Structure 1
Amino acid sequence: MSGKTIVKIKNKYRTDYKSGYPLITKEAILNVEVLKTEGEIIHIVDEQGQFLGKGYYGLQNKGYGWVLSFNKNEEIDQSFFEEKIAAAVSLRKQFYENTETTAFRVFNGAGDGIGGLTIDYFAGYYLVTWYSKGIYSFKDEVIHALEKTVSYKGIYEKKRFADTGQYVEDDDFVKGERGEFPMIVKENGVNFAIYLNDGAMTGVFLDQREVRKAIRDRYSDGKTVLNTFSYTGAFSVFAALGGAAKTTSVDLANRSKAKTIEQFSINDIDFEAQDIIVDDVFQYFKYAVRKQLAFDLVILDPPSFARSKKVTFSAAKDYKNLLKEAIAITENGGVIVASTNSNAFGMKKFKGFINSAFKESGTNYQILEEFSLPEDFRTSKDFKEGNYLKVVFIRKA
């Protein structure tokens, strides 16, 4: 652990940190030049030198680090990490006891008190994801704290902090016994093929668990389902198991087809009875309009930012227009699942996009239900951006 560096916060941001805001942003810092080495312990003070908090320097998206403690006397040492991880594990006790779901989040960054760090559980294996070189400098402390708190088959890691902001390619295995992949985990009784050793993604986004369950249990029976930006087809699998007449999965990534076939197959679903299409979703919408295709259930879960040969998509700027294209190919009385993981706006603004899209389409709508992050993805009331997931089920009148 390195010595402390004093970082001065501009007085206009002082109240935020006094209230418990954990992300140290560049615009809030008065003396950025003092920050030299990611991972160094920093004490943040106001312009008058009054203590506000202590944390670490680590470059992550818009952040320059995270406050770990607002207690001047608390040490950021081995026991600090042990206490945080033990508390997080204790809060997930009911998840460990659920035999129908064997994959969930154990530690969720700032929501559990350490920004820049997540830990996920996959049927006896743990996956630690580091979001900056700063937090990665505490690898030994974190891994030791995890070992002290839980028993495990193996531990893997993913580094999400290359200078380009992309994934750092490396051997993801840390310790224990290496897993055999695909590893089969359960979510509400449904099988998922998981890879902890194959790039940035594992094969499923755990934060959509409750949404997938709702699709299976309440929205799929007898319906034609379009799953856009389908990744490995998880929504499609749940829809098929919910009795969907047919699912259509569309994603631009070439590997999405094989991955989706795999997820169908491990759940004993005939993938040949489903449509799995490798295509630009924006082009597919145009194709569907030309062919006069319409679906009973349309799932929209785009990345916050995406670029194809012809289209650059930003959720903050373009979600309304994407939704208008979905409305055009949704049956009257059909349902659109509008989802975004963008932290650039909140639910109120998202509902504004929905309202504008339907208004401009000349169509009435009814909001049926809403979802945000599930219970294991703990968030902090002092860091609203951390509660990024917004999902709205909308019936087209």
Structure 2
Amino acid sequence: MQKEIDVTIIDTMAHDIQKGVPILLKDGFHETNSLQEGAIMKLRNTAGKFVGKGYVGRQNKGIGWLLTKNEKEVINTDFFKKKITAAIAHRADYYQNTDTTAFRVFNGEGDGIGGLTIDYFDGFYLISWYSEGIYSFKNMVLEALEVAVPYKGIYEKKRFDTKGQYLEDDDFVQGERGEFPLIVKENGQNFAIYLNDGAMVGVFLDQRDVRNTIRQTYATGKNVLNTFSYTGAFSVFAAAGGAAKTTSVDLAKRSLPKTTEQFEVNGIDVAQQDIIVMDVFDYFKYAKRKELTFDVVILDPPSFARSKKYTFSSAKDYTNLLKDALAITEKNGVIVASTNNATFGMKKFKSFVEKAFTDSNRRFTIEKEFSLPSDFKTSPHFKEGNYLKVLFIRVK
């Protein structure tokens, strides 16, 4: 059990903690250099009154996360058992759904422990650690998970700076090793998953509802362009929904074999689809030059990306990205605009859309909006945690 230390914080952060804000920001402390990763802090206001317990785990501007406002609650294996068991109970419906065998079991601060996520892949669990601090509780988390639920095997990803000491035995932790690709289901479609091959496993689970909506409502008979396509998950759902054709574009060379594999495990004829390894911005120019147009254009860029020729920041450049997409979208077509940038909210995101259409002298209506699905539980006191913003935009 980690030793507890008394830490005095500034009163504005003390007030935030009392309201339920889970993140402990650097500017809420008088000094942070002496705080060691994984230390349990008994947080006190300037009057010396206890306001909460948290742990030190540095992420971006955060020094750590609040764990409890109960001074008597001990941060031990039982604490983690309680949190993880409650999180699993919250996902009971997912466990019983044979059409979806991949989902999030524990979502950081939304389930009471910031810096920790756990995903389920058909009997296997993937733990992601976002700081050295939370990683110091590894044994407690593993013991809690063992007690809470049966499993085939457990894998992990260290999503913090390990100073080059990351690759440890293909991320396997315990139980049985998986045979990869592991085939999981999402709303009846298949995904090939690799828990043992670097940071990316093959699909982003937070887009489940968006993919299903494309398949159910927007794909039939349509010509679909999927940009920043990664492993082609949106394209798979569009093709399964009866799209006339899909075009998947991504700069990464791995996107070709990975997307091919995703089509193949769903029994979709790859020869009928286009998979293009190219910078998306170059592809927009190419499509415009060739007078190519699409009924549905999917935009799901990373928050920040850099290629040899371009630097993209969703906070600064999404409006221009939309303009590029508009230029090759059919009249009455649909743009699926998505961002996972946590630094701005839906209102700001909609302002990017408004400006892009105004500048292009086009009209639009927003038909559907999405944020995170229900397994990605969030805290109402930490808006940045509900990072996903997706708009289905009808081009007039």
**In which range does the TM-score fall when normalised by the shorter chain?**
over 0.9
Equivalent residue number for residue 84 of structure 1: 83
Q: Deviations over 1:357-385 (max 9, x none)?
A: 11111000000000000000000101111
Is 1:18 matched up with 2:18?
yes
Equivalent residue number for residue 284 of structure 1: 283
Equivalent residue number for residue 173 of structure 1: 172
Contact 1:8/1:45 (<8 A) preserved: yes
Aligned partner letter, 1:241: A
Equivalent residue number for residue 374 of structure 1: 373
Q: Deviations over 1:339-363 (max 9, x none)?
A: 0001000111111111111111100
Q: 1:59: Cα distance to partner? A: 1.2
Secondary structure of the 1:302 match is coil
Q: 1:91: Cα distance to partner? A: 0.7
Aligned partner letter, 1:168: Y
2:332 and 2:9 mapped to 1: Cα distance? 53
Segment drifting more, 278-287 vs 223-232:
278-287
Equivalent residue number for residue 2 of structure 2: 2
Secondary structure of the 1:52 match is strand
In the superposition, the TM-score normalised over structure 2's length comes to: 0.98
The sequence identity of aligned pairs, in percent, is 64
Equivalent residue number for residue 215 of structure 2: 216
Equivalent residue number for residue 265 of structure 1: 264
Q: Deviations over 1:52-105 (max 9, x none)?
A: 211110111221111111111111111100000000001111100000000000
In the superposition, the TM-score normalised over structure 1's length comes to: 0.98
Q: 1:34: Cα distance to partner? A: 3.0
Aligned partner letter, 1:144: E
1:150 and 1:11 mapped to 2: Cα distance? 40
Q: Deviations over 1:114-142 (max 9, x none)?
A: 00000000001111110111000000000
Aligned partner letter, 1:25: L
Structure 1 unaligned segments of length 5 or more: list them.
none
Equivalent residue number for residue 317 of structure 1: 316
Is 1:55 matched up with 2:27?
no
Equivalent residue number for residue 352 of structure 2: 353
Is 1:293 matched up with 2:280?
no
1:68 and 1:255 mapped to 2: Cα distance? 39
Secondary structure of the 1:298 match is strand
Equivalent residue number for residue 123 of structure 1: 122
Contact 1:167/1:199 (<8 A) preserved: no
1:287 and 1:343 mapped to 2: Cα distance? 31
1:299 and 1:107 mapped to 2: Cα distance? 28
1:370 and 1:177 mapped to 2: Cα distance? 40
Aligned partner letter, 2:300: D
Aligned partner letter, 1:322: L
Secondary structure of the 2:333 match is strand
Secondary structure of the 2:247 match is strand
Q: 1:293: Cα distance to partner? A: 1.0
Structure 1 residue ranges (4+ consecutive) displaced by more than 4 angstroms after TM superposition: none
1:179 and 1:359 mapped to 2: Cα distance? 51
Equivalent residue number for residue 29 of structure 1: 29
Aligned partner letter, 1:19: K
Aligned partner letter, 1:173: F
Q: Deviations over 1:268-319 (max 9, x none)?
A: 1111111100011111111111111110000000001111111111111111
Secondary structure of the 1:32 match is coil
Query: What is the Cα-based RMSD across aligned positions, in Å?
Result: 1.2
Q: 1:163: Cα distance to partner? A: 5.2
Kindly tell me the number of residue pairs found equivalent between the two proteins.
395
